[in-house]
Chains A and B, each alone.
Chain A
Amino acid sequence: MTMESTISPAPERPVPSGPPRSKKSWRDSDTAAATVFAAPSTIGLTVFTVIPIVMSLVMSFYNWPAFGDKSVAGTANFSDLLSSPEFRRVVLNTVVFTVLYLPLNLLVSLGLSLWISTMRRGRQTLRVLFFVPVVTPIVANVLVWKMIYQPNGLIDGIGQQFGVDMPNFLGDPNWAMLALVLMSVWQGFGYNLLVFSAAIDSIPQSLNEAASLDGVGPWQRFRHITLPMISPSMFFATTMTLITTFQVFAQPYLLTGGGPGATTETLVLFIYREGFSNFALGTAAAGAWVLFAIILVITALQFLFQKKWVTYDV
């Protein structure tokens, strides 16, 4: 580009305040430009993120109906929530979902990414295939699973062929949560699969080859080479997955509607109903802050314990 032509004539150019590095002129000219450049994002984030955060905090201390008069509630929204069996049930459901979902997701995504990495051909194609449900609209994904799960649906139909009685997955309290988890893992693990794939691809081939020549077995190589090398990615994947898992909404909303009973009613589903069916925005805001608090505590704990298993210095 212009580099060569400009390097030699540079000193001749009469720049009043000396060479370009001179602090004064750079800073003066930068501030005006920076204001223009940073303004849209700063204003946008202020209006659509910072103000709502403040509003949300205020709302959580009010009785705030969607339409009509507001009144101060103090900490009542929070204490009501925390003492309500319904809310506790919802939190418990969300925790159960996470406890089932997270290990399953990590196991499948890590296992498949390792498996795919041994392939000589078609790696990229396979990775893209597993990633498809991540980008297809979740509503579409949920609807087809509803067809698969329901009586006379695909699973039940195959069962009938072999004379096996299948449970009513979405209508049976014992099965609904599991059905929800399974669908969610199908829909979401492709993301972590790519995260792990990227990490595995970046491990120097020579490391495994050298170990292999030294007679180190596959399991030992996985344990002492692959696992430490990808531990930062595992930390990243675990943290991000946990955060998004606590926010599960579309699957229970469309697949089970929170039912049967309240077996699959999750935290965000509860927040949605409080806010936009019961129009109790104050309660909904308080619920959202409880959710945020839970996420914060868990993330903080993860960062605290990462030293024990995450290796950064390879």
Chain B
Amino acid sequence: MSELAPPSPAGRSRNTSAAKIRHGLSATLLWLVALLFLTPLIYTVATSLKPASDVFSVPPSLVGKEIRWQNYADALDYLPFQKFILNGLIVAVSGTLITLAAASMSAYAFARLKFRGRNVLFAAFLATLMIPQEVLVVPMFSLMQEFGWVDSYRALILPWAFTAFGVFLMRQFFLTIPQELADAAYIDGAGKFRTFFSIMLPLARPSLAVLAVFTFINYWNSFLWPLIITNSVEDKGTVPLGLSLFFSQQGSQWNLVMAASVISMIPTVLLLLLLRKHLVSGIATTGMGGR
């Protein structure tokens, strides 16, 4: 940790090589910790490539007798796993688009337009953030029954597409845009809509990207709500639901289950890599992420 810094001003020059060695050791140890931490993920990938007979071999080994790529094809064929992926993409992509549109529009209103009751309404928005999902899912299920939406894409997408969180995030951003820019647009004859679409939104691209990635990941990974609202898992199930069904039916075929797990991780890991440069600052400014 911070002991690695030179201990005292007097010893600095004498200790540089010792400090270097210590720093090297510390770095090595840290990478080992990271490797240990990644073991479950490595184990997932390793198991996904083993023949079934080698999954619980003694002694445990990373590689089976053969590298069996066929597991992935089998996992995709078993159950309508391809259907789960398609459902997951439909739900996550449209959910993200709706979230972005609704959040950025109302954020613009709250940040940039003056209207009566603005502060009260915004406070009401923020208040909804305090309600845990569990309080909502019970009545939401009844509401979906009333609407006749049980087991539909609508029910998977719409209930979670309107979040005060996204509004709050986008509003914070719009507040930082100098008023002169909006004034200039106004004087140039741009109305509120033009100003929003041709000035505010393009400028907001980084914030929109962060919101989009996290919204997509939340939709893609969501488990409790799809579990509740989906009757015909085989028809409307998303990927996590498909995985758990896969497991409950084929719990013994760990190699196939792990292949399906790897497939389920691909989109989110790709997005994470895409986002990695903005990850720390994104978390710092938005406080969003895992749930």
Contact = CB atoms under 8 A, between A and B. Distances in A.
Interface of A: 1-3, 6-7, 9-10, 13, 20, 26-27, 29-31, 33-45, 48-53, 55-56, 59, 64, 66, 111-112, 114-116, 118-122, 124, 126-141, 143-145, 147-148, 152-154, 157-158, 160-161, 186, 188, 190-191, 194-195, 197-199, 201-202, 208, 212-213, 215, 217-218, 221-222, 226, 236, 240, 243-244, 246-247, 249-250, 254, 268, 271-272, 275-276, 281, 284-285, 288-289, 291-292, 295-296
Nearest to B143: A52
Contacts of B1: 111, 114-115, 118, 218, 222
Nearest to A225: B2
Given A40-B105, A41-B125, A135-B269, A115 B26 contact: yes
Contacts of B140: 48, 52
A30 B115 contact: yes
B243 A33 contact: no
Given A7-B184, A31-B115, A143-B258, A275 B280 contact: no
B148 interface: no
Contact of A50 (B6, B37, B128): B128
Given A53-B131, A292-B135, A128 B276 contact: yes
B192 A295 contact: no
Contacts of A240: 287
Given A9-B187, A250-B224, A271-B138, 11 more contacts: A7-B184, A29-B192, A53-B139, A126-B31, A133-B41, A137-B243, A137-B261, A140-B261, A144-B40, A199-B284, A247-B132
A13 B268 CA distance: 52
B87 interface: no
A217 B7 contact: yes
B223 interface: yes
Say what secondary structure dominates the interface of chain A.
helix
Given A126-B34, A215-B8, A134 B289 contact: yes
The 6 tightest CB contacts between A and B, nearest first, are: A44-B162, A198-B284, A55-B139, A33-B192, A157-B60, A41-B106
Contacts, number: 335
B261 A143 contact: yes
Interface residues of B, number: 116
B34 A129 contact: yes
Given A55-B139, A157-B59, A160-B58, A208 B40 contact: no
A88 B227 CA distance: 26
A130 to B, nearest CB: 6
B121 interface: yes
A132 B41 contact: yes
A144 B141 contact: no
10 contacts: A3-B184, A38-B109, A53-B139, A66-B142, A115-B30, A118-B2, A190-B290, A226-B2, A271-B138, A281-B142
Contacts of A215: 8-9
Given A198-B284, A271-B134, A141 B109 contact: no
B134 A247 contact: yes
Interface of B: 1-9, 23, 26-27, 30-31, 33-34, 37-41, 43-44, 47, 56-60, 101-103, 105-106, 108-110, 113-116, 118, 121, 125, 128, 130-143, 145, 158-162, 164, 167, 180-181, 183-188, 191-193, 196, 199, 217, 220-221, 223-224, 227-228, 239-241, 243-244, 247, 254, 257-258, 261-262, 264-265, 268-269, 271-273, 276-277, 279-281, 283-284, 287, 289-291
Contacts of A55: 139, 142-143
Say what secondary structure dominates the interface of chain B.
helix
B280 A37 contact: no
A275 B138 contact: yes
Which residue, A129, A145, A271, A288, has most C-beta atoms of chain B within 10 A? A288
A52 B264 contact: no
Contacts of A3: 180-181, 184
Given A116-B30, A198-B284, A288-B134, A213 B40 contact: no
Contacts of A119: 26-27, 30
Contacts of A188: 290
B102 A44 contact: yes
A127 B280 contact: yes
Nearest to B228: A276
Given A42-B106, A130-B37, A56 B264 contact: no
B258 A41 contact: no
Nearest to A32: B192
Nearest to A213: B9
B155 to A, nearest CB: 10
Given A53-B136, A124-B276, A135 B290 contact: yes
B196 to A, nearest CB: 7
A193 B230 CA distance: 35
B141 A281 contact: yes
A27 B283 contact: no
A24 B5 CA distance: 62
B254 A147 contact: yes
